[in-house]
Structure 1
Amino acid sequence: FHWMSSRKWGIVTANDTPSSTDPVSSHVQSDTVMFRLFFLFGVSVVLRLEYLLAAAIVRAKAREWSENKIRIFSARVISLTHATLSSIGCLCSLLSDSEYVKEPYDYSTYSAQYIFLFSMGYFIYDMTDMYIHGEAPYSKEYFIHHSLVLTAFSIILYTGKLFGFAMIGLLVEVQTIFLHLRTMIRLTGYAKKRSPAYNALINANMVCLFLFRHVPVTYLLYVMLYKDENCPLPLRAFLTCGLAFLTYHNTHLTISMVKADGFFGYEMQSLDEDHVDPLGPVKVKKS
């Protein structure tokens, strides 16, 4: 793993690497790493506080809802926050700098690291949240997904490579905005009315599912298998396996939403809060 030996988590490019013999540079590097760790776990803490606030507001406004329903809706508020902010950062980066696509392996920027760290903070929060609420044993697909992303982002930040790869992969969060909005509207019961606005939402969700999930993952698989010549074999194998899992994950998601939302000849399903998640129910005790 010689490709890792000269990298530190806080380093962006080879030209920015401080000399290990320079105490000033080493101190700056140490401070930078500590700040990023503070940012990472700070995101998790802030999202936890947002969840508690969201749950309190929903509990006060929807007194007839069960604790189970309040829990699921509040969790989607946090997921929507992450998807929205990640999408903004990802789209702004890709639209303002074509080097992410042209040089997905070698190109890196300082600002992109905080987009990745924000998502890592969310995934750490989400895994902890599922564990706290006893959902971990019934959320294996989410745990595998989150663990793969956390591992990949950690490697990317440590090596200073594959920033373009990660940024293209984050395009999935654009579709996730529509996914969480759809789930939240279903929880409120407005989906049963099949209003033009809701129909537009589920159609946009399905279009974005292919445009921002299937297309980017397929493109990244193509890059890993046929195009990229720089990525070391162990890392290429890990990323290819991760992308293969994401392909399964996205296919599972697509089939579930096609059936639930009434596409391609299926009738739209009426779902309670335990089954509104397209990847299946989680074990939560109802009040």
Structure 2
Amino acid sequence: MRVAREEAMGGGKRNTVETFFLATLILWFASLCFQILLNKRWELLSVIAGSIFYQTSNCLIRFFSPHKDKDALFVNTSVSLLHSLLTSSSVIFILFRELLSNGPSGMSDHSQLVEDAWSWAFEALSFSCGYFAYDQWDMLHYRLYNGWIPSILVHHLVLLICFTLALYRNVTINYLILTLICELHSIFLHLRKVRRMAGIRDAKSILVKLEWFLNWVTFFVARSVPHVLITAKLIKDAYKFEKGMELPLALLGMAGMNLLNIGLGIDLLKAFKRERKSQQGNLHHHRE
């Protein structure tokens, strides 16, 4: 148990999986520095600012948390919750501002979605990209993943590749902002995890019922439906894309997101049934 605990907290020998994802993160950081310093892309400093901001948040939460460094998962989830709150708020602000300015038809124009960037969209995407780099490092450092091919590390790697390529080339920025509306649902995913780690598991509680209600509503409204619509829009406008990697990467990325959404929905349903079953078992035990 002690050895397992040390490995979970970052001790022990690094395995092949960890080495691979750490190497890709280092290569990503090297390419970012190359763009900033040699190509003078100073606007990309907001990516590094995002990483520093969330790493600082991690340190502050760890310092003030009663768990200290004994529960890296609690700290990581708390920072993820902060990211979801900030990102979803910024995305809603950007979309609402553009909706008032250009209307639905103007916002859905192909050239707007692919070639332009709405006000603050570049900065919001860069800051969120910095978060995924921080989170990848934190999960590798404390080994907050499972399996030989951890889906969370693969997910972060794919996002880093898609986000940074879009930022480097200044294309599909608005499309990626639209995909980030799913962070509204992630708020309730992280809240559920924090709530359970805090020991609040009463399925009959009004707060827990409200959390589950909002979890399901935002899963469909802010994650599943938007990603399906974005995929449909890409397919519909496929002929408008110039020859290159933009369309294949976009379609591949959305296919991956839709598959992840299906898996997430199945996991959520299992968790929901498990919590209700556990509560019913506790009630039956008390009656006896």
Give the TM-score of the pair, scaled to structure 1.
Answer: 0.74
Deviation at 1:135, TM superposition (A): 3.5
Asked whether 1:141 is paired with 2:141, we answer: no
Q: How far 1:242 moved relative to its partner?
A: 1.2
Number of the residue aligned with 2:123: 114
Q: 2:98 corresponds to which residue?
A: 97
Q: Does 1:49 align with 2:60?
A: no
Query: Partners in 2 of 1:167 and 1:148 — Cα distance?
Result: 16
Amino acid at match of 1:72: L
Superimposed CA distance per residue, residues 147-186 of structure 1 (whole angstroms, 9 cap, x where no aligned partner): 2222222222223222221121011111111111111111
**Residue 125 in structure 1 maps to residue 137 in structure 2:** no
- Report deviation, 1:267: 5.5
Task: Rate the CA distance shift 1:189–1:96 in 2: closer, same or farther, 3 A.
Answer: same
- Deviation sequence 1:16-67 (CA, Å, 0-9, x none): xxxxxxxxxxxxx965x23x33321122122112112212322x3x58xx92
Residues 270/42 of structure 1: CA separation in 2 closer, same or farther (3 Å cut): farther
- Give how far 1:269 is off: 6.0
Distance 2:214 2:125 in 1: 26
1:261 Cα shift?
A: 1.5
Report the CA distance between 1:248 and its aligned residue: 1.3
Query: Among residues 260, 263, 280, which one is paired with 1:252 in the alignment?
Result: 263
> 2-side partners of 1:259 and 1:109: how far apart?
39
- Higher relative helix content: 2
Q: Which residue, 151, 164, 167 being the options, matches 2:161? A: 151
Gaps of 5+ in 1: 1-8, 10-28, 272-287
Residue aligning to 2:225: 215
In the alignment, residue 268 of structure 1 is paired with which amino acid? Answer: R
Equivalent position to 1:206, from 203, 216, 231: 216
Paired residue for 2:246?
235
* DSSP 3-state at the match of 2:117: coil
Aligned residue in 1 for 2:78: 77
SS at match of 1:268: helix
CA RMSD of aligned residues (A): 2.6
The answer (yes or no) to whether the contact 2:118–2:174 under 8 Å persists in 1 is no
TM-score (norm 2): 0.73
Contact 2:179 2:226 in 1 (8 A): yes
